[in-house]
Structure 1
Amino acid sequence: MTLQFSLGSAAPETVDTPCVVVGVYENGVLTSAAARVNTAAQGAIKQQIESGDISGKAGSTNVLFAPPGLTAKRVLVVGLGVQKSFDGARYQKIHLEAARALARLPIDSAVSYLTEVEVPQHDATWRVRTAALAADHATYRYTATFKPREKSSQPELGTVQFASGEDASIGLDQAKAIAEGVRFARELANLPPNICNPAYIADQATLFAERHEKVSCQVLDHVELEKLGFGSLLAVGRGSANKPKLVVLEYKGGNEEKPYAFVGKGITFDTGGISLKPGPGMEEMKFDMGGAAGVLGAFVAAVKMQLPVNLVCVVPAVENMPDGDSYRPGDVLTSLSGITIEVLNTDAEGRLILCDALTYTAQTFQPRAIIDAATLTGACVIALGKHASGLMTKHDDLADELLAAGEHALDRAWRLPLWDDYQVQLESGFADVANIGGKNAGAITAGCFLARFTEGQRWAHLDIAGTAWDEGRKGLATGRPVSLLAQWLIDRAGSGS
């Protein structure tokens, strides 16, 4: 079930709903809505605070059932933490925890007053958008048919109304569109690799284009790619029975200006090839197309928002498998750009498909800016963990735009250097460049490799290896960096730059 959102302005003590949601800071400080509910309910919230049942700790939740004096059947009290240090990240956290708590209750709808909580430097539009996206993320369920959900006789949460004293309809509209893009990305990435192969990604992109005006899709198969000279990309896919595809989506929402371009790494499964990965945890390599899922999700969000921009989304979709025809360490490949590449490790394959896709995107569309997203290096996970995506670019203005978009969307990135000093690590005695640069600065040398194929382009690279999915047997795709990229496009549409 997809969560539905709306706006409302009814008083919290009189709203007719299965559950009303209010907030309490630590030290017993009530929000305005909580104070009104407390007064109408004859001090029920204060009594729980005095007894120690409600602590106000950030993200804590308590349910009051059938409190007297209220029309609502329940009150969900959410802890907001210390009031003086309240910020955007904590605001997001409380909405995530509130949605999880609501989803555990036998209710089909709720009204939240947490959107009235003031957040420094953020307006009502941001508060509503962030709340809706957090709720949608927290209540997401994997919906593939081979793991059907158990049918329940209890009601399931389907609608959340957010209270706002100001007009925040733009924020809600943006949230609905971005949430659809995030769900698109998460569903695609969560699918098993025997379903989500290069052809499947191509089919999903084609279906989306057929259903939306101003959107077109072109899919190049391995025969066409060979004719065009995609030597690096095709080498990675040689060992797989699932042939590579290059998926090209175009959205013409602007005038005649050049488009923005997204490029996403689409390794639908990565065994490492001849440089075989260890067996434990290899099942997570179905998420190695997280960059493709992310840029496709951002494309979906842009179309749904009807942004007045032109946008291109290019996805090289390839499976990296060991086989008698697989490419090998020691092979020398000729890329679409003409740059030759010595393969030192077949598990450094993402950059090999991206370099050809970046060359194609630049040559074909002459875009205003290119941003690629890729689950590229374990080194980035070591450097930044699971919280920030790695950002690399030689363009300070583009870095500033993306970092600001990430902060605003709470889908943050951290800039890593892309100095030419690191390029020496990629030197080869047998080709123009080697595909790995050794164990030191692995995320950066991967970015430096891609930089060789984007000379003259306004380009940025997002390494999302740490942020694209949650680890573990039940870990799911996160949908990042859809929110970051969507916000960057919103900003571009607003500034015209």
Structure 2
Amino acid sequence: MKITIGQKYDAEMILVFKGKGSEDHENILSRLSEKNLFKGEEGEVFSLVNMETGRSQIFLGIGEEDQADEEILRLAAFKGAKELSRLKISEASVKLTKLPNLCYRKSTKAFAEGLYHAEYRFDQYLSKKQEFSLAEVSFDLLPGKEEKVLPGLKEIEHLMDGIFLTRNLINEPAISLTPEVLAQAAKSELEPLGIEVEILDRAECEALGMKAFLAVAKGSTNEPRGIIMRYRGGNDEAPVGLVGKGVTFDTGGYSIKPGPSMITMNGDMGGSGAVIGAMKAIALNKLEKNVTAVVLATDNMISGDAFVPGDIIGSMAGKTIEIHTTDAEGRLTLADAVYYIIKKEGVKEVVDVATLTGACVVALGEFNTGAFTNNEELLGKIRAAAKEAGEPVWQLPLSKEYHKLIKGDRGDLKNSGGRWGGASTAAAFIEAFVEDTPWVHLDIAGTSDIAGARGYLPKGATGMPVKTLYYYVKGENKGGC
């Protein structure tokens, strides 16, 4: 689907506030309201199709005028695009007016984003493909606003490219997305955009002393891979660091998961998918920043070589770790990844992203990403980026009590602090390897992959938090409204 400017088509999407019609459609909207067919409630959709003239009007409710925000516009556009596709309409127009209390540039971007969300489908394994008929939407912009709006529309197009890449990687089954395939996907997607992608094999990871990561990889016949991605769009300043958990399938190891809990474990590399997608969006939009991203990719399997509960393993940082459960494997890979990116890549701050704990899902459900930090200023940047993105984050505690729970008896640390406070003890474990570097940990176990479609987010991989990472790297928005 493409977005154009200015063309007029017989099919039109019309934004309607609750209880307030436009002059052009006042009579129609009054009759629809009288018959309780359409009142302009948030998320409402009503279609009028004239078979003789070919004219179609798709009314989109956006609720109370003073409550409208970018998230409501995303959902309205998504529903409008889905309705047009259902009606087999390929071209449509929409008049985008200035909404109260909203930046025109941002609201136009939000509407475009909703349209793009509507066309996503993961259907390569279906014998009957899912059709999407809408091919073009033309924006009727306010006079004189093109100069500010057009760059934003191109930005959101590129950002959605990154989100769709993330979704595709996460939705791909483990049988076809091994650590090596994930590494090659990063290389093929990012190198043409000017990102340097270095792939580390097992021997190179061993030479670096990545003992925690390689302990997880011991049980698998699939070879582990380190994926180092370097984007240089700024001056000589130190890069910011992104780390993504890259467990391409998690059985739980010898602390084996129940069967039903394993069905979606191909998505346990959601953090790596988000980081790779964010790097694509960053490069496509040519952000003038330096960014390094690291993924240590493996799966967590059972074999005669696999690590087991009671083992004591090493780490790149030199700290020893008691294994209390092999199902707390992601934090082991992240320990080496964050230590590597700080010590070897020289990042000035680091954000790690991981589908890390069921405890975070218990606490926050599928609606908020859990956030932990050793630096409130850095977390403030993430909060601002998440608000811009429409991807809610919620800070969870990381006090000294949680660090006490992961103190080892026979080794320096243990990889599980027990049943209670599991999201916080997992974050405390990672924090032990970042030392004094400003750091934020995002636990996306609930938000990366959802059980059912919600709003404009599809069932399965959502693409979160690609937008948050992108806007964090981009920094303060000075585009104006």
TM-score, length-scaled by structure 1: 0.90
Distance 1:67 1:205, change over 3 A: same
Q: Is the 8 A contact 2:357 2:423 kept in 1?
A: yes
2:454 corresponds to 1:475 = no
- Of 184-193 and 166-175, more deviation after overlay is shown by 166-175
The secondary structure found in structure 2 opposite 1:59 is coil
- For 1:98, the aligned partner's letter is G
| Match for residue 257 of structure 2 among 277, 296, 309 | 277
- For 1:438, the aligned partner's letter is G
2:18 corresponds to 1:26 = yes
Tell me the CA shift for residue 119 of structure 1. 5.0
Partner of 2:3: 5
- For 1:35, the aligned partner's letter is E
Structure 2 Cα separation of the partners of residues 16 and 102 of structure 1: 12
Tell me the CA shift for residue 151 of structure 1. 7.9
Q: Is the 8 A contact 2:190 2:197 kept in 1?
A: yes
- For 2:90, the aligned partner's letter is D
Partner of 2:352: 372
Distance 1:349 1:227, change over 3 A: same
The secondary structure found in structure 1 opposite 2:193 is coil
Q: Is the 8 A contact 1:88 1:119 kept in 2?
A: no
Structure 1 Cα separation of the partners of residues 448 and 464 of structure 2: 5
Query: What are the ranges of 5 or more consecutive residues in structure 1 without an aligned counterpart?
Result: none
| Match for residue 180 of structure 1 among 149, 161, 173 | 161
Q: Is the 8 A contact 2:65 2:100 kept in 1?
A: no
- Of 440-449 and 164-173, more deviation after overlay is shown by 164-173
Tell me the CA shift for residue 82 of structure 1. 2.4
Structure 2 Cα separation of the partners of residues 148 and 117 of structure 1: 44
Tell me the CA shift for residue 49 of structure 1. 2.3
Q: Deviations over 1:178-224 (max 9, x none)?
A: 100000100111111111110111111111233123x1110001111
The 5 Å alignment of 1:302-321 reads 302-321=282-301
- For 1:251, the aligned partner's letter is Y
Structure 1 Cα separation of the partners of residues 163 and 371 of structure 2: 20
Distance 1:492 1:455, change over 3 A: farther
Partner of 1:158: 135
Structure 2 Cα separation of the partners of residues 434 and 374 of structure 1: 19
The secondary structure found in structure 1 opposite 2:259 is coil
Structure 2 Cα separation of the partners of residues 292 and 365 of structure 1: 18
Q: Is the 8 A contact 1:341 1:435 kept in 2?
A: yes
Percentage of pairs with the same residue? 33
The 5 Å alignment of 1:68-467 reads 73-113=55-95, 115-116=96-97, 118=99, 120=101, 122-144=102-124, 146-150=125-129, 156-165=133-142, 166-167=145-146, 168-213=149-194, 215-467=195-447
Tell me the CA shift for residue 492 of structure 1. 5.6
Distance 1:151 1:378, change over 3 A: closer
- For 1:26, the aligned partner's letter is K
Partner of 2:49: 65
The secondary structure found in structure 1 opposite 2:166 is helix
- For 2:23, the aligned partner's letter is A
Q: Is the 8 A contact 2:71 2:110 kept in 1?
A: no
Tell me the CA shift for residue 177 of structure 1. 1.1
Q: Deviations over 1:311-345 (max 9, x none)?
A: 11111111001111110001111000001110100
- For 1:128, the aligned partner's letter is T
Structure 1 Cα separation of the partners of residues 68 and 191 of structure 2: 45
Q: Deviations over 1:125-174 (max 9, x none)?
A: 21122122222123211142x3244487xx81122223321231122011
The secondary structure found in structure 2 opposite 1:78 is strand
Query: What are the ranges of 5 or more consecutive residues in structure 2 without an aligned counterpart?
Result: none
Partner of 2:37: 53
Tell me the CA shift for residue 88 of structure 1. 3.4
Tell me the CA shift for residue 72 of structure 1. 7.0
Q: Deviations over 1:281-304 (max 9, x none)?
A: 411011100000001111000000
Structure 1 Cα separation of the partners of residues 98 and 446 of structure 2: 31
Structure 1 Cα separation of the partners of residues 141 and 449 of structure 2: 33
Q: Deviations over 1:358-383 (max 9, x none)?
A: 11100112112111100000111111
- For 1:6, the aligned partner's letter is T
- For 2:61, the aligned partner's letter is G
Structure 1 Cα separation of the partners of residues 121 and 100 of structure 2: 29
Structure 2 Cα separation of the partners of residues 125 and 297 of structure 1: 24
RMSD: 2.0
Tell me the CA shift for residue 423 of structure 1. 0.6
- For 1:24, the aligned partner's letter is V
Between the two proteins, the alignment pairs up a number of residues equal to 471
Structure 2 Cα separation of the partners of residues 273 and 451 of structure 1: 24
Tell me the CA shift for residue 458 of structure 1. 1.3
Structure 1 Cα separation of the partners of residues 129 and 71 of structure 2: 33
The secondary structure found in structure 1 opposite 2:461 is coil
TM-score, length-scaled by structure 2: 0.93
The secondary structure found in structure 1 opposite 2:15 is strand
Tell me the CA shift for residue 108 of structure 1. 1.2
Structure 2 Cα separation of the partners of residues 148 and 164 of structure 1: 41
Distance 1:57 1:273, change over 3 A: same
The secondary structure found in structure 1 opposite 2:38 is coil
